[in-house]
Amino acid sequence: MPEIKVVNMAGSEVGKINLSDKVFAAPVNGAVLHAAVKNYLSNQRQGTQSTLTRTEVSGGGKKPWRQKGTGRARQGSTRAPQWTHGGVALGPKPRSYRTKLNRKVRRLAITGALSSKVAENEMIVVDSIATEEYKTKTMVKMLSDVGAAKKSLVVLPTRDDKVYRSLSNIPGVVVAYPNTLNAYDILNCGSLVIAEDAARKLEEVYDK
């Protein structure tokens, strides 16, 4: 059972927390993490890219020259792919890149990602993350005091509009909640800054 120190927003240690082995000391499966990251990135693609085929570009209604007797290759349209301003052959068309991931695999990926952050000492537990006003400077100071990296994932127990907006203004900082957490964001951050209540909620969900 991993034991991690708990700090306040000023970076001072205020206690320790014992975390669940099933969530924060689980086996790290590289294949599962790869599948989860690939699934997440695929689902972010819009798939709206589109090229015009020879039937969609304008012009080319007339045969450029007669079929035989010119010494040149036969051509039926100036909008064939080999012509300048012609259509695109086998170009991309709008499609969906979405893939499905089993719930068990997704859970294994999240617990594996969380465990890797604990093993690499990149998880910072804060007793409470709060602010009385919309102030980005307050959150910047908090991240600096707790020793977070520039690229950080902050996990809050519940939606706090003041904290969320203040953190969202900081480049490289992503805000998540226990029900919106994904393996890609965990692995992609330099520091995982998590509120103590959020850590307990994650244990309630994934310690089963």
* 17: CATH: 3.40.1370.10
Using the Cα atoms of residue 117, residue 121, residue 127 and residue 129 in order, give the sign of their dihedral. Answer: negative
pLDDT on residue 207: 80
* 70 and 106, same domain (yes or no): no
Arithmetic mean of pLDDT over the chain: 94
What's the domain range around 167? 3-45+100-206
Beta bridge partners of 176: 155
Hey, what are 43's tokens? Answer: 């689902």
Q: How many domains does the chain have?
A: 2
Q: Which of 79, 96, 113 marks a domain boundary?
A: 96
In the predicted structure, residue 126 carries a pLDDT above the cut 90 = yes
* 86 and 146, same domain (yes or no): no
pLDDT on residue 77: 94
Q: How confident is the model at residue 182 (pLDDT cuts 50, 70, 90)?
A: very high
* 166 and 75, same domain (yes or no): no
* 108 and 175, same domain (yes or no): yes
* 166 and 191, same domain (yes or no): yes
* 104 and 90, same domain (yes or no): no
* 40 and 124, same domain (yes or no): yes
∠ CA 153-154-156, nearest 5°, is 145
* 68 and 40, same domain (yes or no): no
One-letter-per-residue 3-state SS of the chain: CCEEEEECCCCCEEEEEECCHHHHCCCCCHHHHHHHHHHHHHHHCCCCCCCCCCCCCCCCCCCCCCCCCCCCCCCCCCCCCCCCCCCCCCCCCCCCCCCCCCHHHHHHHHHHHHHHHHHCCCEEEECCCCCCCCCHHHHHHHHHHCCCCCCEEEECCCCCHHHHHHHHCCCCEEEECCCCCCHHHHHHCCEEEEEHHHHHHHHHHHCC
Q: What is the per-residue pLDDT across 56-89, written as a single tens digit (0 to 9) for each?
A: 999 988 899 999 999 999 999 999 999 999 999 9
Q: Contact, 148 vs 159, CB < 8 A?
A: no
d(CA 193, CA 173): 10
Q: Which of 31, 64, 96 marks a domain boundary?
A: 96
* 34 and 52, same domain (yes or no): no
Q: Contact, 116 vs 185, CB < 8 A?
A: no
* 29 and 120, same domain (yes or no): yes
pLDDT on residue 146: 94
Q: For the chain, what's the residue count?
A: 208
* 75 and 133, same domain (yes or no): no
pTM of the predicted model, to two decimals?
A: 0.83
pLDDT on residue 153: 97
Q: How confident is the model at residue 2 (pLDDT cuts 50, 70, 90)?
A: confident
Mean pLDDT of 119-128: 95
* 37 and 136, same domain (yes or no): yes
